[in-house]
Structure 1
C-alpha cells in the first residue's frame, strides 16, 4: 500500500472540493483525510493501491465543477499508521 500527500491550489475552498475528495477517494477504495489550509490550498493524505492512488491524484487535477485547480503537488510519504475510511479534518 502506498501513501501520497497532495497539495491543491487554485479556487478549491468554498466550492465543495473537500466533499468531492471524500466521495472520489471512497469510490477508489482509498483511506486518509482532506483539510483546508489557511493559505487557501487543500491538503490531502491518501493511502491505497498504487493504481487507485495514481488515478485519484489525476482526478484531483480536475476537481468538482465549481473548482478551478491551478496546481497539484503530490509526493509519496511513508505510511505512519493505517487510516479508517476517508474523512474531512478541520482547517490547519
Structure 2
C-alpha cells in the first residue's frame, strides 16, 4: 500500500483512557478500511499518537471516528494537525 499523490498526513494525539491493545487494534482496523498508512503508538504520558497518511477524505474520516466515541477506549480529547503526506509508510501498524 502506498500513499497517493495529493495525500495528507494526519497527526493526532488522543487523550483519555485509550492506551492498550484494543484501542490501537481498533485504530489500525479503521485506518486499513480507509486505505491509510501510518501507525498508532502509546506515549509515556498516557496519550496515544496516531499518524496516518492517505486521501484528505480518508484522514478526515479517521479523525471523525477518533472523536466520535466509537473507539474501545474513553476518548476525552483529540488534538490534531495536518500536513502534506511524506509517503514514508507502506502499511498501518501498532507500535
What 5-or-longer segments of structure 2 have no aligned partner?
1-6
Task: Work out whether residues 8 and 69 of structure 1, in 8 Å CA contact, stay in contact via their aligned partners in 2.
Answer: yes
> Which residue of 1 is the match for residue 4 of structure 2?
none
Separation in 1, partners of 2:92, 2:52: 8
Task: Work out whether residues 30 and 62 of structure 2, in 8 Å CA contact, stay in contact via their aligned partners in 1.
Answer: yes
> Which residue of 1 is the match for residue 24 of structure 2?
18
Separation in 1, partners of 2:56, 2:24: 22
What 5-or-longer segments of structure 1 have no aligned partner?
none
TM-score norm. by structure 2 comes to: 0.85
Separation in 1, partners of 2:89, 2:21: 26
Are 2:71 and 1:64 equivalent residues in the alignment? yes
Are 2:35 and 1:29 equivalent residues in the alignment? yes
* Aligned residue among 56, 69, 79 for 1:73: 79
Residue correspondences, number: 88
TM-score norm. by structure 1 comes to: 0.87
Task: Work out whether residues 35 and 44 of structure 1, in 8 Å CA contact, stay in contact via their aligned partners in 2.
Answer: yes
> Which residue of 1 is the match for residue 48 of structure 2?
42
For residue 82 of structure 1, report the CA deviation from its aligned partner: 2.6
RMSD (Å), alpha carbons = 1.4
> Which residue of 2 is the match for residue 84 of structure 1?
90
